[in-house]
Chain A
Amino acid sequence: MDNQAAQPLRACQVLQGNEACVEGALLAGCRFFAGYPITPASEVAEAMSQRMPEAGGIFLQMEDEIASINSIIGAAWGGKKAMTATSGPGYSLMQEGIGYAAATQTPCVIVNVMRGGPSTGQPTLASQQDVYQAKYGSHGDYEPIVLIPSSAQEAADMTIRAFNLAERYLVPVSLLLDEIVGHTRERVTLPTRPELINRTKPPAGIDYRPFEPIPALGGVCYRADFGEGRALLVDGQLHDHMGNRVGHKPAESAAHVRRICDKITQNAALISDYSLHFADDAEIMLLAYGSTARSALRAVLEGREAGMKMGLIRLKTLFPFPDALVKELGDRAKAVFVPEMNIGKIVNEVRRVVNSDVFSIPKLGGEMPTPAEILKSVREVRP
């Protein structure tokens, strides 16, 4: 029964983003899901509880989110592609485990369907308030990969990519949906045979050092799983190539942190993804992501109809942030506007790299900004 092919329900379906995420995970080869239901992410667990056994995988409802993240880390070391899904409060609880996954170079996928926060916040409404938590939520230095879909189709496609990136770079990958993307039903065409990447096994006969960066893999390690006959020592304390603790040794500790960060930052160009809309001649550039990007695209179209040279950079990965692209296109524009469903966060990344004027269009309260609201904010600055 193990690892049998997940049969897609139908080539073209109408699915919620949360459901599309589940279908994407199964197509990516995910065969272990552990989670604790929470609004607005519950449909992920609900669909997993039905679909995972059909695919010969394991579904576990855990006692809480701490257990959930730790069990997927264990499953990943047991050789599975593993995923959990949650929303804000659960994502906070998972942060320690995410740091552990980063330190131990464990491939896993964490889905956060964003509600409004802080704390219990707004269980039933949307936000994009967790974008920095996804980058900085756990303590210490590490470089996570953060993907952010704008539609149900992308929820499926990007879940597949999240697993591919996790396996390629041996890193926890966060997939940030928001309540709107998670719950909107849209047409989704599932790939029949998506291209899949699997962790690279150590070649036979080599002197295997589990945490040694391999230049040919872009600084990523070979990965043997438990049960394959290799000696594995997995520890959250900083360690050397064999997994032995070096937390008391400054140079070797620094080298460990460098290794887990460099494998992401040095491959950032391969990881970053985005789409450009009317960007070539844009004087007024919007930068948006998630459901807000749908409003932003409409605002660009309406602005163009009114004679404004507007364009859109839509981010599909938030981190690593595409510094060079945003700088080039942002500097070419007269001004960059960043609508987002938070108090103004990713706008700071834009300000960090762009010399043109950068303006925040923050929206709080749980609803996405309308195209009219975005255009109004633009016109207040650039009539």
Chain B
Amino acid sequence: MRYEIRIAGFGGQGVISIGVLLARAAGQFGGLEVAQTQSYGPEARGGACKTEIILSDGIIDYIKPLDLDLLAVMSQAALAAYAGDLQDERGLIVDSSLVTETPARFTNVVRVPATEMAEKELKQPLAANMVMFGALVGIAGHVSAEACKEALQNSFSAGALEKNRAAFDLGYAYRLSGG
């Protein structure tokens, strides 16, 4: 098994954090090999930024995507910048609060209003990335919600943990409910 994920948005949304948490969940608590890379440097601040995660049940040789399985985007600009190598039938998850147009060629689009859900249901607009994290894990599989929660617990202070876990649950449930 080799499963390739890219998460993209604009700097400050916390897309890199999703990548780091997913990597920890898979590698530390999920029993998988993992390689997580990210756009790094000036371009990651404010502009479009991305993180890429390779999951595997065996040794990972090449650490970047060869044939992307899943793309999650949290901005229209990131979709324009980072969807070029995604094949038509592969999974595309968009934060539909921010990404209103998706190219017609994509046949497997999941729309998650992550930013709106974080604002309205949690009163925590900054937690949109964790809503996206939950939805993404539900769609991607390979990593359990339990492993993700262990990674959350391992990464946040007690005060921040509850909000982030609630946001994760919201995204995960949204996907399971067929949203």
Contact = CB atoms under 8 A, between A and B. Distances in A.
B159 to A, nearest CB: 21
B36 interface: yes
Contacts, number: 67
Interface in B37-62: 37-38, 40-43, 60-62
A186 B35 contact: yes
Interface string A169-195: 000000000011001111100000000
A253 interface: no
Contacts of B80: none
B6 to A, nearest CB: 15
B35 A185 contact: yes
B62 A14 contact: no
Most buried by B among A12, A183, A187, A370: A187
B41 A124 contact: yes
B20 interface: yes
Interface stretch (B21-29, B88-96, B119-127, B160-168): B21-29
B37 A291 contact: no
Interface string B54-88: 00000011111010000000000000000000000
Nearest to A186: B35
Given A10-B28, A14-B23, A124-B40, A368 B64 contact: yes
A301 B63 CA distance: 15
B33 interface: yes
Contacts of B63: 180, 184, 186, 291, 294
A294 B43 CA distance: 26
- Chain A interface main SS type: mixed
Contacts of A185: 20, 23, 27, 34-37
A7 to B, nearest CB: 16
A187 B33 contact: yes
Given A14-B34, A294-B61, A371-B66, A40 B27 contact: no
A294 B64 CA distance: 10
Interface string A364-383: 00001011000000000000
Contacts of B62: 294-295, 297-298, 370-371
A187 B40 contact: no
Nearest to B26: A14
A70 interface: no
Contacts of A10: 28
Contacts of B35: 184-186
Given A14-B27, A180-B37, A297-B62, 18 more contacts: A10-B28, A12-B27, A13-B27, A14-B24, A40-B40, A124-B42, A179-B40, A183-B37, A184-B35, A185-B20, A185-B37, A186-B27, A187-B27, A187-B33, A187-B34, A295-B62, A301-B61, A368-B64
Interface of A: 10, 12-14, 39-40, 123-125, 179-180, 183-187, 291, 294-295, 297-298, 301, 368, 370-371
Interface of B: 20, 23-24, 27-28, 33-38, 40-43, 60-64, 66
28 contacts: A12-B28, A14-B20, A14-B24, A14-B28, A14-B34, A14-B36, A40-B40, A123-B41, A179-B40, A184-B35, A184-B36, A185-B20, A185-B35, A185-B36, A185-B37, A186-B34, A186-B35, A186-B36, A186-B63, A187-B33, A291-B63, A294-B60, A294-B63, A295-B62, A298-B62, A301-B61, A368-B64, A371-B66
